[in-house]
């Protein structure tokens, strides 16, 4: 046990290593959204920038884990610690974080320049910080500390730090600090981390050499973990919890591949769940933070010491089959309401799956001498899962098929011998009956919710859907009979998903589907085939009635009696002759043009242009009077490449979804718009958004620029218009339906280095 002084020193060492890991993890998750925002104005669209940044950060993380593994293996802990001190010092040379002025290429992809910028400016500090988690756990394993045999519990501090960093940026740093201040704060955090790592290195150098966990166990100088603790479970071969010999040997190839797979599934499922929730359920800003927080929380729980993680893991293993089937059925019958319940079910299902997969990783973790290799393979699996969902799936699938596929893969991760929750003679029956009963009841309840109580209606689409939902629920109960056999159960769930996707009397007639990096689009036709609607998730991007005599009528947000229709008919004819529109959609705005007009649409997604120009789907661009050009690429970058004051009217129509392009709503962006506007010109913003109050944001911009600002909350859409003088609006200036723009209480103006998405979200809630 040691003297009281020894125990105090041992506890101090644990606190030192835990705090160091906590700080490093927080820095890792702070720098990613922060630096993406640094380079946003240079490279345009948020999705494109974040995708490239994510690829870079995942690659750098893999490189960091590879460095930790190979340097420790080749140099030993003490010499590796000396090397790492030098690497820490090199990282200080590129701080504070900043971005040099540059002009992205106009004739080629900016991706190489973007990746190069990331490597030069933030690559080395991020790499150094990312090495901390595996290195410090390996360092502790080489000391004579009593906890050295199983340092995995430090992973809990690392993931708690990750959660803090993840939440701190949108909730605390972004609303209160400019980018330069954020960069200096992160740099100070790096300096603090360097001091903490040096202190950990001193502990390692002063500690007596340790044989290593495997050697100590083999020679009998270290007692094996108690039966029932997570290390014992990792090695158990039977019900008695006996330690298997393979736990002390080099992990086999099959075992390593299993680690990769167990890390792949929750990473892929996290992004798939996020994509589904933010497109098909509710495009709520910052909703992506919740799945990522649950993902990190699951790691923290399963790698915690003591018997509680094991008991919780048992319950999660039993809960996963029911959740998987409920989610699969919900996806197939397209349950969307009630919003809060559906969201909780999907988030709960993801958390359960993450707990099962990560719990299996924790149960099968190797001895401390193989720690760095274990983390390297876990990082590889996570990166592959993210790359599959973020890059491969959008190119391979025309819908969010990766979500049900990830659910099926999660079922395959169930242990072959599921841990029991109840001892005794009837334990097996209880463990089998529990998921059967829960799954059956939950499936039936979900089916009832999906139909809104229409089971009793005879005939028509409601009965067909009811029969389909009941058939799927019955199939789910049959599938649960295989719950003790993960492969058969996973295949059964996959069969249900495949069968449920067959087009059986669908309530909506989907005539076209396409998917790109920016969205999963479908064109839906009415029963008579005349009305076509372009939809991405829950966001409508345009509607057209193709019936003769109605094909030139602007619908949806662009109705003639709506705000934009009123504005178009009252503006001076000379003003609208040259119009620029950010956001193409179906091209509905084109029907406000007159013969001889030449309008330019700026559209980031080539898939949207293909849909708008396909005359089998929409004919606005073909049939409406005038000439229409489409410029592909980020609108702000495209406008910056344009020359002269060419437009009398600029329409910004890009803020209806959750991932609003913030760089189009800044002081610098407004200055660019004005530089492309003729004297007497008008700028119109379409600000319809269910979750963000954008009128005060735009009102602050107008006030800051000294512009007149009018707004209207229409029946189907909300619009804001700006001009240098009130007379530039024509009759709209005295229209009672328009009012002076509201302004945010703090009067803060969004700029390229400051925005407050959370504030806009709070204003909308307050208004609601």
Chain CA centroid to CA 29, Å: 13
Question: How much is the pLDDT for 673?
Answer: 95
Domain 548-767: which CATH number of 4.10.140.10, 1.10.8.60, 1.20.1070.10, 3.40.50.150:
3.40.50.150
Q: Where are the domains of the chain?
A: 1-100+110-213, 254-367+395-507, 548-767
Q: What angle do CA 141, 15, 74 make, to 5 degrees?
A: 25
56 C-beta neighbours (distance < 10 Å), count: 21
Beta-carbon contacts of residue 473 (< 8 Å; ≥ 6 apart)? 329, 440, 443, 444, 447
Is the CA virtual torsion 41, 42, 48, 50 positive or negative? Answer: negative
Distance, CA of 97 to CA of 125 (rounded, Å) = 9
User: Strand order in 531-536's β-sheet?
Assistant: 509-516, 519-525, 531-536, 539-545
Asked, colleague to colleague, whether 1-100+110-213 and 548-767 share their fold, the answer is no
Low-confidence ranges of the chain (pLDDT < 70): 1-2, 41, 44-52, 100-111, 208-249, 280-286, 336-337, 417-483, 499-508, 657-659, 765-768
As a whole number of angstroms, the distance between CA 581 and CA 651 comes to 5
Angle between helices 339-363 and 402-412 (to 10 degrees): 40
Q: Please tell me the predicted confidence (pLDDT) of residue 715.
A: 83
DSSP class per residue in 585-619 = TT-GGGGG--TT-EEEEEES-HHHHHHHH-TTT--
Structural tokens at position 521: 């689009």
Q: Residue 242: what pLDDT?
A: 33
| pLDDT for residue 420 | 52
Distance CA 53, CA 47 (A): 10
Q: In the CATH hierarchy, which fold is given to the domain comprising 1-100+110-213?
A: Growth Hormone; Chain: A; (1.20.1250)
Q: Are the beta carbons of 709 and 698 closer than 8 angstroms?
A: yes
Determine what percent of the chain is predicted with pLDDT higher than 70.
79
CA distances from 534 to 106, 231, 504, 512 (A): 30, 53, 22, 9
What pLDDT does 454 receive?
Answer: 39
Percentage of the chain exceeding pLDDT 90: 32
Q: What is the pLDDT of residue 245?
A: 34
Element (DSSP H or E) covering residue 506: none
Angle between helices 460-479 and 427-451 (to 10 degrees): 170
Instruction: Give helix 46-75 / helix 371-387 axis angle, nearest 10°.
Output: 160
Which pLDDT score, from 0 to 100, does residue 47 have?
55
Q: What is the DSSP letter of 627?
A: E
């Amino acid at each position: 046990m040691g003297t009281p002084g020894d125990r105090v020193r041992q506890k101090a060492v644990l606190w030192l290593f835990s705090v160091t890991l906590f700080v490093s993890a927080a820095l890792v998750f702070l720098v990613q959204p922060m630096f993406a925002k640094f380079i946003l104005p240079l490279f345009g669209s948020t999705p494109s920038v974040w995708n490239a940044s994510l690829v870079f950060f995942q690659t750098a993380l893999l490189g960091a884990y590879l460095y930790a593994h190979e340097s420790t293996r080749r140099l030993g802990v003490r010499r590796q610690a000396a090397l790492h001190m030098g690497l820490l010092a090199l990282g200080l040379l590129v701080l504070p974080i900043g971005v040099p002025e540059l002009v992205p290429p106009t004739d080629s992809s900016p991706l190489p320049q973007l990746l190069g910028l990331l490597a030069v400016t933030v690559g080395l500090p991020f790499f150094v910080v990312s090495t901390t988690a595996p290195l410090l756990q390996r360092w502790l394993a080489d000391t004579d500390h009593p906890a050295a045999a199983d340092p995995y519990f430090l992973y809990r501090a690392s993931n708690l730090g990750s959660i803090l960093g993840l939440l701190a940026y949108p909730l605390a740093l972004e609303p209160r600090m400019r980018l330069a201040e954020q960069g200096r704060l992160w740099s100070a955090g790096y300096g603090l981390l360097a001091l903490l790592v040096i202190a950990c290195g001193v502990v390692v150098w002063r500690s007596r050499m340790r044989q290593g966990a495997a050697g100590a166990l083999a020679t009998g100088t270290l007692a094996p973990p108690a039966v029932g603790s997570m290390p014992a479970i990792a090695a158990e071969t039977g019900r008695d919890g006996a330690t298997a010999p393979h736990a002390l040997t080099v992990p086999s190839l099959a075992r390593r591949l299993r680690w990769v797979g167990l890390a792949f599934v929750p990473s892929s499922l996290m992004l798939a769940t996020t994509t589904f929730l933010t497109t098909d359920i509710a495009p709520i800003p910052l909703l992506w933070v919740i799945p990522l927080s649950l993902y990190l929380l699951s790691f923290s729980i399963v790698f915690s010491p003591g018997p509680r993680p094991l008991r919780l893991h048992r319950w999660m293993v039993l809960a996963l089959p029911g959740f998987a089937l409920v989610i699969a059925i919900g996806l197939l019958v397209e349950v969307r309401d009630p919003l809060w319940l559906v969201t909780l079910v999907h988030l709960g299902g993801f958390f359960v799956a993450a707990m099962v997969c990560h719990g299996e990783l924790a149960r099968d973790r190797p001895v401390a001498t193989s720690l760095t290799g274990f983390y390297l393979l876990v990082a590889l699996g996570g990166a592959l899962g993210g790359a599959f969902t973020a890059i491969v799936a959008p190119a391979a699938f025309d819908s969010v098929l990766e979500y049900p596929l990830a659910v099926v893969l999660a079922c395959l991760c169930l242990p072959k011998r599921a841990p029991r929750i109840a001892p005794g003679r009837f334990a097996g029956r209880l463990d089998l009956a529990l998921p059967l009963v829960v799954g059956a009841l939950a499936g039936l309840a979900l089916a009832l919710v999906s139909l809104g109580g229409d089971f009793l209606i005879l005939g028509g689409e409601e009965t067909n859907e009811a029969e389909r939902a009941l058939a799927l629920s019955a199939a789910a109960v049959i599938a649960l009979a295989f719950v003790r056999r993960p492969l058969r159960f996973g295949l059964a769930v996959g069969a249900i998903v495949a069968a449920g996707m067959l087009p059986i009397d669908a309530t909506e007639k989907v005539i076209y589907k396409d998917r790109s990096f920016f969205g999963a689009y479908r064109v839906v036709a009415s029963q008579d085939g005349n009305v076509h609607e372009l939809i991405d998730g829950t966001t409508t991007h345009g509607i057209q009635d193709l019936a003769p005599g109605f094909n030139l009528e602007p619908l949806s947000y662009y109705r003639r009696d709506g705000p934009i229709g009123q504005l178009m008919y009252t503006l001076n004819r000379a003003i609208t002759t040259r119009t620029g529109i950010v956001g193409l959609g179906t091209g509905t705005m084109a029907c406000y043009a007159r013969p001889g007009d030449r309008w330019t649409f700026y559209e980031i997604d080539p898939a949207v242009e293909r849909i708008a120009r396909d005359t089998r789907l929409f004919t606005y661009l073909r049939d409406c009077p005038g000439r229409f050009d489409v410029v592909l690429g980020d609108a702000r970058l495209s406008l910056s490449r344009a020359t002269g004051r060419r437009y009398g009217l600029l329409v910004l129509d890009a803020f209806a979804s959750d991932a609003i392009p913030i760089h189009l709503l800044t002081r610098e962006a407004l200055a660019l718009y004005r530089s492309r506007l003729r004297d007497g010109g008008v700028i119109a913003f379409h600000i319809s958004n269910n979750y963000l109050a954008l009128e005060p944001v735009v009102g602050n911009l107008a006030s800051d620029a000294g512009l007149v600002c009018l707004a209207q909350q229409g029946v189907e859409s909300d619009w804001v218009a700006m001009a240098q003088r009130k007379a530039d609006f024509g009759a709209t200036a005295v229209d009672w339906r328009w009012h002076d723009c509201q302004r945010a209480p703090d009067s803060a103006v969004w700029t390229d280095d400051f925005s407050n998405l959370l504030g806009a979200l709070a204003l909308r809630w307050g208004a609601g």
